[in-house]
Structure 1
């Protein structure tokens, strides 16, 4: 996978999550600890794929936007949606879902 592809993917997911949270670029940047004078430009560069943030910054962005960090890196849109849903499920439901997936996988492998 190329860096540009992953940066564009990251940027697309970041922009979507930021818009969903209705947070302007400058406010998001300041919220994660960026200098207020460069915050908007830095977030814009992340969103456009000019730069990809270090993983630690991605973690801060995810926390500020209430999404799992993994969401930014999912190449498959369906998987990205599952990652978002997983984060919102209570632990008991996660356990139930894992058992269901394990059962489905075991059935698929047995064929």
Structure 2
């Protein structure tokens, strides 16, 4: 008998699960929040989280909005940078300006 290897969880899937669990939102509720059918929403979110299906970018944007996170967080492959993206995404405008000043970033 041959064993089938489980698909490796994608960065997107891992970040999606982390963000969802961070706010305590069940998979089915998240699916409904982004407009999925209530009967299949949990399974669809599970497939995104496990890497069995890849979410189209428009869906990723809806997921990020429902979770209150920047969409870039879902795709960032560096854990430290992902956390910075997350923190900047929820920071207040004054805090963002302070970070920009430190980095020498001028809009």
TM-score category (smaller protein): 0.7 to 0.9
C-alpha RMSD of matched pairs (Å): 1.7
Residue in structure 1 matched with residue 95 of structure 2 by the alignment = 93
Unaligned runs of 5+ in 1: 104-111
Please report the TM-score for the alignment, with normalisation by the length of structure 2: 0.85
Could you tell me how far 1:102 is from its partner in structure 2?
2.2
Residue among 20, 23, 27 paired with 1:21? 23
Residue 72 of structure 1 corresponds to which residue in structure 2?
74
Runs of 4+ in 1 over 2 A off after TM superposition: none
Q: Is the 8 A contact 2:69 2:90 kept in 1?
A: no
Residues 32-62 of structure 1 show CA distances to partners (whole Å, capped at 9, x for unaligned) of 1001111111000000001111111111111
Corresponding residue of 1:60: 62
Aligned residue number for residue 10 of structure 2: 8
Counting helix residues as a fraction of each chain, which structure ranks higher?
1
| 1:83 lines up with 2:85 in the alignment | yes
Q: 2:71 aligned with 1:42, yes or no?
A: no
Aligned length: 99
